[in-house]
Structure 1
Amino acid sequence: LDKDPEFGGGGDAKSLTSSLLGLLGLQFRAPSSADTKEVQLAALDALNKHITIRKTEKSFIVDIEVWSTDPAKAAMLANTLTSTFLLD
């Protein structure tokens, strides 16, 4: 998700920026581990805004809803969250 533009990732923007800077004779600074951690935390924060999880009272049923611009991505995220919940 940290590379997905919908979740705050840059996608191909970094390589485009790097290419443009290269044409000007400048170099693109490689992200540090702190930068990477910050991007991952931003992606998790964005994911948190894309999900709704509810537990039905007096049951073991949990509803997990994920919204995305891509239905397949939303289904993959919902299934991953469900699998992680069941493993935990």
Structure 2
Amino acid sequence: MIAAVGKSASHAGGTWLYLTPLHTMTQTVRVLVGDIRKALEYIRQLVLQSPKLNRWRALLRLVCTQITPSNLPRNTRDLLVALE
């Protein structure tokens, strides 16, 4: 696990790296880990329903639908039908 989250800034010919210790972002990290667990559980359930399902493709499709802006049209077909 990373020890800090960093941001770099350049000024007057020098580069500064600002680090924020992770302990200040504990809640954010917990939420992200929880989201990953939910996604993996979702994929596990799909695999149990259809052993021929391509797990990595299903995971990638799930991640893409979660990060795509909601105002874009989404593919509404069932994952099990779309993934062969």
Common fold, TM-score beyond 0.5? no
TM-score (norm 2): 0.30
Q: Compare CA radii of gyration and give the structure with the larger one.
A: 2
